Amino acid sequence: MRIGLGILLLCVGCARAAIVFDQPKVDVTAESTDSQAQAVFHFRNTGDRAVEITEMKPSCSCTAAQLARTRYAPGEGGDLHAAMWIIGVMGDDTKTITVKTNDGAPPQKLTFHVHVNTLARIDPEALFWGRGYKTGSADVHIRFPEADEPAQSVKIIANPDRLDTSLQTIEPGRKYQLEVTPKSVASCWRENVVIEVAFPHIGVRRYTCYANVK
């Protein structure tokens, strides 16, 4: 009895998935202006019985998975369509989709990796000075690592009553360094430092760095 149960458990544990995905990991590149990235996971039922896909569970509510239907005959193929909402995502993001079937095979994990081309990187996006402490300058690094074209111009807009700013070109059209110095840190305030970038074809884009005295 015990041996039989053991063999049964062993068989369940070793059950080979009939649904086989061509690529369990899909890499996608998206633009920062896109609202979602899409991926297709192609699969085939390699078993000798019809299989039903019973569950597709994304790791995040920002990702959705969809199938045209759930039951696949032996030898039949299908596509699992996945969509990831990427508004505000910078750089790389990875989500997983766990797929369960009714054939006793263990759940399969699909990986959806997206690289969002980021036009500009402002580092840091916020600067802080302690109220009543010594006034000092802080640097903001401005880069356009994935823009297809170099920036034509970079303009800084800040309240001159509160802040001194100085922009230095490190690599024309690609890398800049902005030095920000508060004129006084006697009281608490926040000022927006707007970085206005003009690209030849993309047009003008505005980014904000927040200068704060706390």
Quick one: which of 56, 65, 89, 154 contacts another protein (CB under 8 A)? Answer: 89
> Could you tell me the smallest distance in angstroms from the CB atom of residue 135 to another protein?
16
- Token pair 């095979």 is found at 105
> Could you tell me the smallest distance in angstroms from the CB atom of residue 106 to another protein?
18
> Which positions from 172 to 191 touch another protein by CB under 8 A, shown as an x/- string?
------------------x-
Binding of residue 143 to another protein (CB under 8 A)? no
Burial 52-78 (b: 16+ CB within 10 A, else e): ebeebebeeeebbbebeeeebeeeeeb
What is the C-alpha radius of gyration for the chain, rounded to an integer number of angstroms?
26
What are the tokens at 171?
Answer: 């690599």
Quick one: which of 59, 70, 102, 117 contacts another protein (CB under 8 A)? Answer: 59
Binding of residue 136 to another protein (CB under 8 A)? no
What is the DSSP-derived secondary structure letter of residue 106?
P
> Could you tell me the smallest distance in angstroms from the CB atom of residue 118 to another protein?
12
Quick one: which of 66, 128, 149, 168 contacts another protein (CB under 8 A)? Answer: 128
Quick one: which of 61, 68, 136, 203 contacts another protein (CB under 8 A)? Answer: 61
Q: Tell me phi and psi for residue 163, to 5 degrees.
A: -135, 145
Q: How many residues bind another protein (CB under 8 A)?
A: 23
Binding of residue 103 to another protein (CB under 8 A)? no
Distance CA 121, CA 38 (A): 24
> Could you tell me the smallest distance in angstroms from the CB atom of residue 143 to another protein?
13
Distance CA 82, CA 93 (A): 14
Nearer to another protein, 21 or 85 (CB): 85
Nearer to another protein, 51 or 197 (CB): 197
Backbone torsion region of residue 208, taken as left when φ is above 0, otherwise alpha when ψ lies between -120 and 50, otherwise beta: beta
> Could you tell me the smallest distance in angstroms from the CB atom of residue 125 to another protein?
4
Residue-wise DSSP of 149-205: S--SEEEEE--TTTEEEEEEEEETTTEEEEEEEES--SS-EEEEEEEEEEETTTEEE
Binding interface with another protein (CB under 8 A): 59-62, 85-90, 93, 95, 123-126, 128, 130, 190, 208, 210, 212, 214
